[in-house]
Structure 1
Amino acid sequence: MREFELFRDGMGGTVRIAAIPSAAAVLLPLLVREANERYPGIRIEIMDSLAQVALAGLLNGDVDIAITTSSNLPDSVLYTELLEDRFAVIHCSDHPFTTQKQVTWAELARESLVMFDGNSSIRTLTDAALTEIGASADITAEASSIPVIAGFVSAGIGVAAVPRTCHPTDDGSGHPLNPTRHARRCAPRRYRADSRAIGVPRMHSDRGSAP
């Protein structure tokens, strides 16, 4: 909320926020409601975008706040993590995974997979997880949005690994998609490949505005 206070105190009347779609759907509604109640004179503009696009918007000055993942951040950026977003598997209700409490990446690799496309930060993580265990994906379809991926899954085309903040509980046509959790943790770098960090990057010069 510190950013909204700065705008209230004279920096401007519009706060521009770029957020990855899952954050825009899960985190921002409550944030915006609270901001509207506390700072009614501020207008909030929200753009849902890919992780790298949200970060670029912040670096270029096109947006005031970015909510994105922690991957590929330049040294000029400070990062405040808001939550750890663990992955889940979505699949049709008659899939054998339904009887399992957990699904490993190795088990997932033996399935036909519906994947996010190569521009998505989610795809980067799923590729890293499969590479870590020496597995290659049998990709039957790729898409850029969770509704499309859920549609492919509900049609029986394959299963998909998605962050828990954006996995559906129903595909809209009455066919439940049952989530189970990944069990394997495999992260060669800054985070585990079975989860991702979602947070707020800031330029070093903005250190004083951090909450």
Structure 2
Amino acid sequence: MVNQRFVPSVTQLRVFLAVAERLHFRSAAEELGMSQPSLSQALATLEEGLRVHLVERSTRTVLVTPVGHQLLPFARAAVGAMDAVADIAAGSGGPMSGDVRIGVIPTAAPYLLPGLLPALSDRFPDLRPRIVEDQTARLLEQLRSGALDVAIMALPTDAAGAAGMPLYAEPFALLVPAGHPLDGRDDLSLEALVELPLLMLDEGHCLRDQTVDLCRRVSAPILGRGGSRAASLTTAVRCVAGGLGVMIVPESAVVSESRDPGLGVARFREPAPGRTMGLVLRTATADDDAYTELGSVITGVAQRLFGAVPA
């Protein structure tokens, strides 16, 4: 039976959420900026106060217990509510002041951040952005747990407790090795993917999922014929330049990588496939006008850097 006199702290709940997400104590501690002993002590105090075991620990694995899984959605809701209270209480400075934790997917961060960070400094001089680059699913978990304030990712997302604000759209193109027969084409059809050695990112990247969807539309081999895959888009681009295959990439990557003499570009005929990028927030803070202004800054940077179209 739960001790009715025990009330978990927000820090303890954040620790539980981080451990449940990462299933690794050191990674959870790094995410929260804590030492591992402090994190372990906070979780132990929470379990002692609740009189339940939330996770099972061994020398190699960490597992969430059944009761831990039952409590996860309530812990997320409690942390989200407390963050909303803090956001409203800090109204004098507004949400665009102090530390703001911004998540960005890996297929956007290298191309958007070089222009975005200076623009944020100009528009919000009191803002101290804290950038977290990670895959979509993990960004959403961190957003719901309160470890992030906002996230920049591809839409749509159907995550509970999160709301997406469309920012900009960008088309996809096909990166090919320089001198490839398709280099310079601007009338590419999706059917061309059927015979190409298509490179893929690892599981978990939304760009991989979008590429798989395009392949399925024309019955192209899902894994392509390249035999290579990469954990990051920048590594995959280097593989293309080295002649290991071709790859579907967003326009932002094309603009950034176009100076590489080892790369060529083929563009799809209209209407070209593409993606819509958005700003994702917890639903409790989604109506704040400051985030709308933040979204406008991001959209403006994307327009300037790689000709994105406002969504």
TM-score normalized by structure 1? 0.81
After superposition, give the CA deviation of every residue in 1:147-196 in whole Å (9 maximum; x if it has no partner).
2112211221111111111232144xxx33122222376xxxxxx8x211
Gaps of 5+ in 1: 186-191
Query: Which whole-Å CA distance do the structure 1 matches of 2:239 and 2:112 have between them?
Result: 26
Equivalent residue for 1:202, pick from 261, 264, 281 = 281
Query: Which whole-Å CA distance do the structure 2 matches of 1:176 and 1:65 have between them?
Result: 36
Query: Which whole-Å CA distance do the structure 1 matches of 2:135 and 2:163 have between them?
Result: 19
1:18/1:49 contact within 8 Å kept: yes
2:150/2:282 contact within 8 Å kept: no
Alignment-derived partner of residue 102 in structure 2: 17
2:173/2:251 contact within 8 Å kept: yes
Alignment-derived partner of residue 54 in structure 1: 139
Q: How many residues align?
A: 197
After superposition, give the CA deviation of every residue in 1:25-51 in whole Å (9 maximum; x if it has no partner).
333444432332344333211111112
Equivalent residue for 1:109, pick from 194, 203, 214 = 194
The question of 1:142 aligning with 2:221 is answered no
Query: Which whole-Å CA distance do the structure 2 matches of 1:7 and 1:150 have between them?
Result: 44
1:104/1:184 contact within 8 Å kept: no
Q: Which structure: greater strand fraction?
A: 1
The question of 1:158 aligning with 2:245 is answered yes
The question of 1:183 aligning with 2:269 is answered yes
Alignment-derived partner of residue 189 in structure 1: none
Deviation at 1:15, TM superposition (A): 0.9
Q: How high is the sequence identity, in percent, across the aligned residues?
A: 24
Alignment-derived partner of residue 68 in structure 1: 153
TM-score normalized by structure 2? 0.57
Q: Which amino acid aligns with 1:177?
A: L
Query: Which whole-Å CA distance do the structure 2 matches of 1:170 and 1:115 have between them?
Result: 22
Query: Which whole-Å CA distance do the structure 2 matches of 1:8 and 1:22 have between them?
Result: 35
Deviation at 1:58, TM superposition (A): 1.0
1:111–1:7: structure 2 CA closer, same or farther, 3 Å change rule? farther
1:155–1:23: structure 2 CA closer, same or farther, 3 Å change rule? closer
Q: Which amino acid aligns with 1:134?
A: S
Query: Which whole-Å CA distance do the structure 1 matches of 2:167 and 2:186 have between them?
Result: 27
Q: Which has the higher contact order (CA 8 A, sep 6+)?
A: 1
Q: Which amino acid aligns with 1:195?
A: G
Local SS of the residue matching 1:179: strand
Equivalent residue for 2:127, pick from 34, 38, 42 = 42
**Bigger Rg over Cα:** 2
Q: How do 1:109-128 residues align onto structure 2 when only pairs under 5 Å count?
A: 109-128=194-213
The question of 1:94 aligning with 2:179 is answered yes
> What RMSD, in angstroms, separates the aligned Cα atoms of the two structures?
2.5
Query: Which whole-Å CA distance do the structure 1 matches of 2:110 and 2:240 have between them?
Result: 21
Gaps of 5+ in 2: 1-86, 293-311
